[in-house]
Amino acid sequence: MTSHEIRSQFLDFFKSKGHQIVPSAPLVIKNDPTLMFTNAGMNQFKDYFLGNKIPQFKRIADTQKCLRVSGKHNDLEEVGHDTYHHTMFEMLGNWSFGDYFKKEALEWAWELLTEVYKLPKERLYVSVFEGDTDDNLPADDEARDIWKTMIDESRILYGSKKDNFWEMGDTGPCGPCSEIHIDLRPQEEVNRVPGKDLVNNDHPQVVEIWNNVFIQFERQWNPAKGGANALLEFETKYSGDKTDSAFKKARAGKHSEVTMLKELPAKHVDTGMGFERLCMAIQKKQSNYDTDVFQPLIQFIATTSGKKYGQEKWADIAMRVIADHIRAISFTIADGQLPSNNKAGYVIRRILRRAVRYGYTYLGFKEPFLYRIVPVLANQFANVFPELKAQEDFVAKVIREEESTFLRTLGTGIQKFEDYIENEFTNLDDSVASVIESEFGEATLKTINGEFAFQLYDTFGFPKDLTDLLAREKGWLVDDEGFVKAMQVQKERSRAAASSETGDWITVSDEEDVQFLGYDELETYSHIIKYREIKNKNKTQYQIVLDKTPFYAESGGQVGDTGYLEANSEKVYITDTKKENDLIIHFTDKLPSNLEADFHAVVNASKRSLTQNNHSATHLLHAALKQVLGNHVNQKGSLVNDNVLRFDFSHFTKMTDEEIARVEKIVNQKIRENIVLDEKRNVPIAKATAELGATALFGEKYGDFVRVITFDPKYSVELCGGTHVKATGQIGYFKIVSESAVAAGVRRIEAITAEKAETVINEQLAVLSELKELLKNPKDLVKSVESLLEEKNQLSKQIEAFQLQEAQAIKADLLNKVIKNNGVTVIAEKVSLPTTESLKKIAYELNAKVDNLFLVLAANVEGKPQIAVMISDNLVQEKKLNAGAIVKELAKEIKGGGGGQPFFATAGGTDINGLDRVVEKARALLG
């Protein structure tokens, strides 16, 4: 069975059991401060479990792109070294939201694995939760009894809270889970060691394939036991090390003491099966990399590097690392996250660098190579995750650029490393070295400083094992302790810089429904549902959730609304509005004195109106760019506020002035057509993209129903949650102010609209008319500036010629004033010159002409005193004269200073009356 068939069978199977099949959410998460990347199938349904949102379907199944490279789930270091953990993998999942529960979930899982996929029953093991007395959690007998009807009891295992109980956080939905493991070892080995002894033991052929989570309880704070505050107090008072396991254990104890479990009225099922591991099992392979999911990539890498897979340990690891990482990198970029130097972008950059480094070290790739794998991957997934195929060129370009940059850094880092070795080596006292060497052996003697190793890691992206490897090649060791210490110091520094504390939500009213009215209203009456306190460094802020709100929360590039809440003639200002998951959160510096009042919630209307001018203009701009530049243009990011709009899009070259002008023209034409906004809410996503032809943005998560914004169905149809003008005429005018590059293959346009554009244009016109006035209102301004410049050129040429003549005259005059003394030709005179350059020039020319020259010129350069001293080379040698020293002495007369070389030096000063004394002093110097 091919991997494509395996995937389809999963989806078909659950479809036949009444599940709605939905697309994978993007890998990149935007509205959740606790998570950067999707790391499990359930992420996109989190709001359903939390009760923030009601699901459209009670049964759902999908294949979800997951990335486990940061936070709670981080498998990065394993990847490539083992055969069954990936950075990016597909998680096949089925969900029940308050519908079926354990019986159906487990029976269907069993049916699918053993009857559809025909996996051997005797090789499967299942686990159920054994209970936890400390935490008052019951054993999951229900699951055990269901399994007993299908599988021999000897293959039902009992797992602890760590493996078999799932919780989202300190409070919230939670419940036991039941895992399914498979034993893929050869029969002889199975005979020797029973598989049940290897379950959950990191054995590469006895692996977990499926986890079924039963969300059965809700954990709540127990006010009788002090709740959240008691836990907080325990944490603050804990005196031991808060990073070690003793703390975790003690905290868990306290946590269970101050919380209580409530059986949920509507229970949920959340399952996740590792697709690549499933393929390994069905295709009877020993490693995920031997399945048809990875083989096309591995084979391509092998051919490109001229090596064979399966022949040499480190080359194999490198090929696995690359085959794995290229998937993570490509799909994340396709979902809108470019590599960068912070947050999610940095995580991607690090993965990319890990791949480059393995290729560089073990496969001999010294030139960019990852980008060449993109087409192989894009074709492989064209029908599963089409977003990659659609942006193949763009993704490859971004990767290539990153690779080149990093390969250069890698080169510099390696040079740094070699210099270090060289230096340290020569710094050693030979005799000491040989004594230590004979006593302790070579390696002990040569240790690379841990801080230096950390510098390589931090600045040059050298993972520690690369430094180890390079060191070993030279017979050196790395000071591991020093490295870890340097890393800790830096971590603490950045932790201190980013510290902020988020308090618990405090409930004000029991209202659960939150209504967003901001598409239709700018003010409304509303109540506070809950609020919490945020401490950022020294500032305290509050976040408020309202039952009804006209405030638009920042998203899709559009900034959040500002405004105020008013009750009993007290006004509290809302400084920003943001989203967290699906909650709309209002920021304020001050809480209202009566939290339970009826509030009048009012949005700052003029700011909103200017902002939506800019937002609608980005839609017009997007469509115009596609017309002018081509269909490869896709939105890569945007920022829309009341001042400006910024639009990032995929395009490979700088736009010409002509292209910019055409884009502006189209947009302004669409503004003048005064196209009326057509806004459709709650459109099924398939209808929006297929029938209406909406431009969907890759990497946006839309849910199943979307909002479609149309300005002329033939011109611009986009999926968008933002706010817009009623008709394009409101935008008034559109002006591009800059076009630049942001990353490889991504351009950025900044533009302004409405009053702002008007102001800028008027300012420019004012400058223009001022210029005209200065030039006495010529008919043709450009022509008259041109002739002005022409005239200026002529004049400068004439001046230069005059100055040259003058200098020649001065030179001739000086030659007449020569004094011969003891075989030295002395010229010491006062002169008037236009520039310091001409002073220098005369000095050099006289030096070329006159032998045995000792020249001192005291010059008046446009009213400023300057001295030049020039001495023939032979005099410098024979008489040990030094122009630099002499000029310093002479400069005292003009209250100044200077210096230079033995044969030529200059000085400047402030006292023009001292020039005569300079001449006298110079003459006296040589008698």
**Binding site residues, ligand ATP, CB under 6 A:** 68, 75, 85-86, 89, 91, 208-211, 272-274, 276-277
At residue 480, what is the residue type? Answer: D
In the complex with ligand ATP, the residue whose CB is nearer, 211 or 526, is 211
CB 509 within 8 A of CB 596: yes
In the complex with ligand ATP, the residue whose CB is nearer, 210 or 365, is 210
646 φ, ψ to 5°?
-125, 130
Tokens encoding 557: 């590039």
Calculate the alpha carbon distances from 185 to 82, 189, 440 in Å.
15, 6, 46
In the complex with ligand ATP, the residue whose CB is nearer, 208 or 700, is 208
CB 719 within 8 A of CB 697: yes
In the complex with ligand ATP, the residue whose CB is nearer, 86 or 161, is 86
In the complex with ligand ATP, the residue whose CB is nearer, 89 or 542, is 89
In the complex with ligand ATP, the residue whose CB is nearer, 45 or 210, is 210
| CA distance linking residue 166 with residue 414, whole number of Å | 45
Helix, strand or coil, per DSSP, at residue 912 = helix
**Total number of residues shown for the chain:** 927
User: What minimum distance in Å lies between the beta carbon of 654 and ligand ATP?
Assistant: 41
250 φ, ψ to 5°?
-65, -40
User: What minimum distance in Å lies between the beta carbon of 324 and ligand ATP?
Assistant: 9
In the complex with ligand ATP, the residue whose CB is nearer, 59 or 277, is 277
What residues have CB less than 8 Å from 636, skipping those under 6 apart? 336, 338, 648, 649, 650, 742, 746
**Nearest to 215, CA basis, from 141, 147, 162, 266:** 266
User: What minimum distance in Å lies between the beta carbon of 35 and ligand ATP?
Assistant: 14
- Residue 800's CB is within 10 A of a number of other CB atoms, namely 11
At residue 194, what is the residue type? Answer: P
Beta strands 259-274 and 447-448 are unpaired
Tokens encoding 116: 């559809």
CB 141 within 8 A of CB 171: no
What residues have CB less than 8 Å from 164, skipping those under 6 apart? 127, 128, 129, 130, 140, 158, 176, 177, 178, 179
In the complex with ligand ATP, the residue whose CB is nearer, 279 or 667, is 279
User: What minimum distance in Å lies between the beta carbon of 125 and ligand ATP?
Assistant: 13
Calculate the alpha carbon distances from 765 to 68, 219, 352, 768 in Å.
56, 66, 49, 5
| CA distance linking residue 436 with residue 415, whole number of Å | 28
In the complex with ligand ATP, the residue whose CB is nearer, 91 or 645, is 91
User: What minimum distance in Å lies between the beta carbon of 68 and ligand ATP?
Assistant: 5
User: What minimum distance in Å lies between the beta carbon of 294 and ligand ATP?
Assistant: 11
Tokens encoding 312: 């040499």
CB 457 within 8 A of CB 467: yes
| CA distance linking residue 194 with residue 199, whole number of Å | 10
In the complex with ligand ATP, the residue whose CB is nearer, 281 or 410, is 281
**Segment holding 254, helix H or strand E:** helix 245-258
Beta strands 124-129 and 88-97 are unpaired
User: What minimum distance in Å lies between the beta carbon of 181 and ligand ATP?
Assistant: 8
In the complex with ligand ATP, the residue whose CB is nearer, 85 or 325, is 85
Calculate the alpha carbon distances from 695 to 198, 314, 510, 718, 722 in Å.
50, 45, 40, 5, 15
In the complex with ligand ATP, the residue whose CB is nearer, 206 or 826, is 206
**Segment holding 798, helix H or strand E:** helix 781-816
- Residue 795's CB is within 10 A of a number of other CB atoms, namely 10
User: What minimum distance in Å lies between the beta carbon of 376 and ligand ATP?
Assistant: 20
User: What minimum distance in Å lies between the beta carbon of 211 and ligand ATP?
Assistant: 3
**Which residue ranges make up the annotated binding site for Zn(2+)?**
615, 619, 720, 724
Helix, strand or coil, per DSSP, at residue 249 = helix
In the complex with ligand ATP, the residue whose CB is nearer, 277 or 748, is 277
Tokens encoding 740: 């630049």
| CA distance linking residue 510 with residue 524, whole number of Å | 19
What is the CB-side half-sphere exposure of residue 488 using CA atoms within 13 A? 8
| CA distance linking residue 171 with residue 811, whole number of Å | 93
| CA distance linking residue 111 with residue 807, whole number of Å | 103
User: What minimum distance in Å lies between the beta carbon of 365 and ligand ATP?
Assistant: 25
User: What minimum distance in Å lies between the beta carbon of 73 and ligand ATP?
Assistant: 6
User: What minimum distance in Å lies between the beta carbon of 327 and ligand ATP?
Assistant: 11
**Nearest to 736, CA basis, from 634, 636, 637, 656:** 656
In the complex with ligand ATP, the residue whose CB is nearer, 77 or 480, is 77
Torsion of CA 330, 335, 336, 339, to 10 degrees: -30
The span from the first CA to the last CA of the chain, in angstroms, equals: 107
CB 327 within 8 A of CB 88: yes
At residue 916, what is the residue type? Answer: D
Helix, strand or coil, per DSSP, at residue 81 = coil
User: What minimum distance in Å lies between the beta carbon of 190 and ligand ATP?
Assistant: 20
CB 80 within 8 A of CB 112: no
**Which residue ranges make up the annotated binding site?**
615, 619, 720, 724
User: What minimum distance in Å lies between the beta carbon of 203 and ligand ATP?
Assistant: 11
Output the residue with the shortest Cβ distance to ligand ATP. Answer: 274
| CA distance linking residue 740 with residue 20, whole number of Å | 44
In the complex with ligand ATP, the residue whose CB is nearer, 320 or 888, is 320
User: What minimum distance in Å lies between the beta carbon of 88 and ligand ATP?
Assistant: 8
